[in-house]
Amino acid sequence: MTRSAITPLIMPKWGLEMREGTIAGWLVDEGRRIEVGMPVLDVETDKISNAVEAPDAGLLRRKVAKDGEVLPVKALLAVLAEAEVSDAEIDAFIAAYEVPAAGGDEADEASAFQWAEVSGIRVRYARRGPEAGVPVLFVHGFGGDLGNWLFNLDAVAETAPVIALDLPGHGQSDAKLPGTSLAALADFVGIFLDQLDVARVHWVGHSMGGAIGAQFALDHPQRVASLALVASAGLGAEIDGGYIDGFVKAASRRELKPVIEKLFADPSLVSRQLLDDLLRFKRIDGVTELLAGLGGALFGGGQQAVLPATQLPAAGPPLLVVWGAEDHVIPAAHAKAAPTGATVAVLPGAGHMVMMEKAGEVNALLRKHLAR
Amino acid sequence: MARKISMKQAINEALDQEMARDPSVIMMGEDIVGGAGGDGERDAWGGVLGVTKGLYAKHGDRLLDTPLSESAYIGAAIGAACCGMRPVAELMFVDFMGVCFDQIYNQAAKFRYMFGGKAETPVVIRAMCGAGFRAAAQHSQMLTPLFTHIPGLKVVCPSTPYDTKGLLVQSIRDNDPVIFLEHKNLYGFEGEVPEALYAIPFGEANVVREGKGATIVTYGLMVHRALDAAAALAKDGVECEVIDLRTLSPIDMDTVLESVEKTGHLVCVDEANPRCSIACDVSAQVAQQAFGALKGPIEMVTAPHTPVPFTPVLEDLYIPSAAQIAAAVKRSRAGGRH
């Protein structure tokens, strides 16, 4: 056997700001056969915890990382190899493994984000992946930011150029809105793409970001190569008005926590850091009023005002609809309203933030969808 | 956009942006512009440690350099607040509050109460506090408990640049007198701070580290010592929850009680002298309201009951250390002193 038969399992990089992760627990014993995509161990970052999934199949020969250990991105976590590979070869592989430079300095962090001035509003965005090809544009939902895609951006960027932005009035973009209608937000994203010289995109939208994408596809069909709607608004009237109001009004960690827990099937995923980051956003002057205006216009009284995704033509661009079965904000039943021809996947064990809770499955669905 | 700036820069930015936003915000203090009568160029100190540097150039006569008389200008600031301005007075060192204490505790703090809730006194008194600066007994005290004792005053003591900007903005916008205490040994401490204006509400403690092994409650510079202690204890498998009170009046006891109910152990850390300190206050409230949750004795780690020593060796011993905090956590978990 050669060394190439040894497959390392390494610390993943979840999102642009991840530098290190803590081993929260192994899910599989040594000697167990691993399949592709199988969760092998839990890792916690300061943002969230998640399972590391096996990139390749193989026999789990050695757990290198210990419970509770804090390791940098790309550090060796485990070794997969067939039974023919000797223990000595595995020892030698582990001894020779060097963590590649993770580029963990601040200069790298700063260059992870770029800024554009769009219609007088400063917008933060990230661009990753190869140069060539139609970019995949990730658009977050109400009150979110591009960090919502932390488990997805790098995975998709392996094969396609990726753009993710903080919508106006969200994340670190300026606390201003171009308007409170889906059409105004869709037009704004169009101008943003013009400025980046991007003519067409694969649109991946979560929640409100999906509804904006559907509106964009109706208004500018030639600019949308495909559309992926993740727990999307715009497919049915119901939405949890209590969530929208609660999110807008919550002024403290204690008030915000139960609201944010509604986003997940597993509420323990709501970390201190996640809440702190949201509070930092919500405390900025003008944000509360801005969110109240936007939430009222789009989702006032627990009803979605417009349903652009139901108007998408059946002969339109390829359409993927993904939902978490336990979505408490927008019911997963709305997936049934997807136009004929859409690929629909409802994933059990996930809530509204399905792209975080079932990142591996959502990434696989996205890869397949983008390859169509 | 967030970028890293120091606590000193965060104070300057909060003052600058609030002055630009609200024309009723004015500043008074000793040498905050430059020496009175100077040309504002060569001797533009911007306060004794340069915190307000550059503000005079932007906001002109809304910054008043005052004579060296705290009783005069603190009184003037309180009077201006009663007449509709939002003054921020810089008192250099909290140790000098004594000479203007009547204006603060017997005037400003009482107006809302004595005038049937109709009078508002939106004044902020900023001052440096804390030991470790080799500034001797009269420039190094942590006098937070003097102010928390008085109803009608709000008392703030931040630990990070982010909190400093947001809490100072809230202090300026608040309609009551606020004592805003800045630990001088944190002035150079850097952290991420958004460029945009934001306000952090009073009475909301910050859980800066989560854990189930013990609750460490503190504020100001001691937050960092507590985090060092928690990191050391984590290596022994004890995960501590560290709570930064951020504002001492109002005080967020809910967060403290919730944490103690989870951990069963309380360690209060205070750079102030021990008698009638913030540590005593928190300890007493927990003993009264959550006695049943305690699995070990409440521990306090404070400065000794002495003035701050001038000799560096003794001054370093005077300030509570991470090792003392870690030892206190261990004592509480062991069930008491043996």
pLDDT tens digits, one per residue of A143-184: 999 999 999 998 999 999 999 999 999 999 999 999 999 999
Give yes or no for residue A56 having a pLDDT over 50: yes
Together in a domain, B243 and B324: yes
Together in a domain, B220 and B172: no
Residue-level length of chain A: 372
More confident residue, A303 or A105: A303
Structural domain tally of chain B?
2
Q: In what order do the strands lie in the sheet with B214-218?
A: B206-209, B240-244, B214-218, B266-270, B299-302
* Residue where a domain stops, chosen among B143, B159, B194: B194
Per the CB < 8 A criterion, the answer to whether B255 and B265 are in contact is no
* CATH number of the structural domain spanning residue B39: 3.40.50.970
Together in a domain, B242 and B299: yes
Per the CB < 8 A criterion, the answer to whether B165 and B17 are in contact is no
- The answer for B99, left when phi > 0, alpha when psi is -120 to 50, beta otherwise, is alpha
The answer to whether the Cβ–Cβ distance between A285 and B198 falls below 8 Å is yes
Query: Does any domain span residue B32?
Result: yes
Together in a domain, B177 and B211: no
Mean pLDDT rounded to a whole number for chain A: 91
Together in a domain, B102 and B240: no
Closest chain A residue to the Cα of B237, Cα to Cα: A68
Together in a domain, B125 and B148: yes
Q: Considering CB atoms only, which of B2, B210, B254 is closest to A272? A: B210
Distance from CA of B23 to the nearest CA of A (A): 17
Question: What is the mean pLDDT of the segment spanning A98-115?
Answer: 65
Confidence (pTM): 0.85
Query: Does any domain span residue B200?
Result: no
pLDDT band at A18 (very low <50, low <70, confident <90, very high): confident
pLDDT band at A39 (very low <50, low <70, confident <90, very high): confident
pLDDT tens digits, one per residue of A268-301: 888 888 899 999 999 999 999 999 999 999 999 9
Question: What is the mean pLDDT of the segment spanning A115-144?
Answer: 95
Nearest CA to A51 out of A14, A18, A19, A20 is that of: A14
Together in a domain, B32 and B164: yes
pLDDT band at A100 (very low <50, low <70, confident <90, very high): confident
Instruction: Please classify residue B96 by burial: count the beta carbons closer than 10 Å to its beta carbon, then call 0-12 exposed, 13-18 middle and 19+ buried.
Output: middle
Query: Does any domain span residue B261?
Result: yes
The answer to whether the Cβ–Cβ distance between B196 and A253 falls below 8 Å is no
Together in a domain, B182 and B273: no
Q: What pLDDT, on a 0 to 100 scale, did the predictor assign at position B338?
A: 41
Q: What pLDDT, on a 0 to 100 scale, did the predictor assign at position A3?
A: 44
Q: What pLDDT, on a 0 to 100 scale, did the predictor assign at position A67?
A: 87
Q: At what angle do helices A287-299 and A272-282 cross, to 10 degrees?
A: 100
* Cis, peptide link before residue B250, omega less than 30° from 0: yes
Chain B environment of A175 (Cβ under 8 Å): 196
Q: What pLDDT, on a 0 to 100 scale, did the predictor assign at position A1?
A: 40
Chain B environment of A115 (Cβ under 8 Å): 1
Q: What pLDDT, on a 0 to 100 scale, did the predictor assign at position A271?
A: 84
pLDDT band at A315 (very low <50, low <70, confident <90, very high): confident
Which is it for the CA torsion A176, A182, A187, A190, positive or negative?
positive
Q: Considering CB atoms only, which of A106, A172, A280 is closest to B1? A: A172
Q: What pLDDT, on a 0 to 100 scale, did the predictor assign at position A50?
A: 80
The answer to whether the Cβ–Cβ distance between B1 and A115 falls below 8 Å is yes
Question: How many alpha carbons lie under 13 Å from residue A56 in its C-beta half-sphere?
Answer: 15
Query: Does any domain span residue B201?
Result: no
Q: Tens place of pLDDT for every residue, chain B, 338 residues?
A: 678 999 999 999 999 999 999 999 999 999 888 765 556 554 567 788 889 988 988 898 899 989 999 999 999 999 999 999 999 999 999 999 999 999 999 999 999 999 999 999 999 999 999 999 999 999 999 999 999 999 999 999 999 999 999 999 999 999 999 999 999 999 999 999 999 999 999 999 999 999 999 999 999 999 999 999 999 999 999 999 999 999 999 999 999 999 999 999 999 999 999 999 999 999 999 999 999 999 999 999 999 999 999 999 999 999 999 999 999 999 999 985 44
Suggest the residue from B1, B22, B247 to mutate for an interface test with chain A (most A CBs closer than 10 A): B1
Together in a domain, B189 and B211: no
User: How, if at all, do strands B154-156 and B247-249 pair?
Assistant: antiparallel
Together in a domain, B181 and B238: no
Q: What pLDDT, on a 0 to 100 scale, did the predictor assign at position A301?
A: 92
Query: Does any domain span residue B117?
Result: yes
Q: What pLDDT, on a 0 to 100 scale, did the predictor assign at position A6?
A: 87
Which residues of B are annotated as catalytic?
Answer: 139
Chain A environment of B210 (Cβ under 8 Å): 272
* CATH number of the structural domain spanning residue B330: 3.40.50.920
Chain A residues contacting B, CB < 8 Å? Answer: 106, 115, 122, 124, 172, 174-175, 251-254, 272, 280, 283-285
Q: What pLDDT, on a 0 to 100 scale, did the predictor assign at position B41?
A: 57
The answer to whether the Cβ–Cβ distance between B194 and A115 falls below 8 Å is no
* Residue where a domain stops, chosen among B167, B194, B221: B194
Please provide the DSSP assignment of A285-319 as one string: TTHHHHHHHHHHHHHGGGB-S--GGGG--TTSS-E
Nearest CA to A182 out of A287, A288, A306, A296 is that of: A306
Query: Does any domain span residue B115?
Result: yes
Query: Does any domain span residue B321?
Result: yes
Domain that holds residue B53: 2-194
Distance separating alpha carbons of residues A232 and A330, to the nearest angstrom: 8
Together in a domain, B317 and B190: no
Question: What is the mean pLDDT of the segment spanning A324-337?
Answer: 96
Chain A environment of B14 (Cβ under 8 Å): none
In sequence order, what are the residues at sequence separation of 6 or more whose Cβ sits closer than 8 angstroms to the Cβ of residue B272?
Answer: B141, B142, B143, B144, B145, B278, B279, B302, B303
The answer to whether the Cβ–Cβ distance between A253 and B204 falls below 8 Å is yes
CB proximity B255 to A under 8 Å? yes
- Of A29-38, A152-161, A307-316, least confident by mean pLDDT is A29-38
Suggest the residue from B22, B193, B204, B241 to mutate for an interface test with chain A (most A CBs closer than 10 A): B204
Together in a domain, B157 and B239: no
Q: What pLDDT, on a 0 to 100 scale, did the predictor assign at position A122?
A: 96
Closest chain A residue to the Cα of B255, Cα to Cα: A254
* Residue where a domain stops, chosen among B161, B194, B227: B194
Query: Does any domain span residue B173?
Result: yes
Helix (H) or strand (E) holding B214: strand B214-218
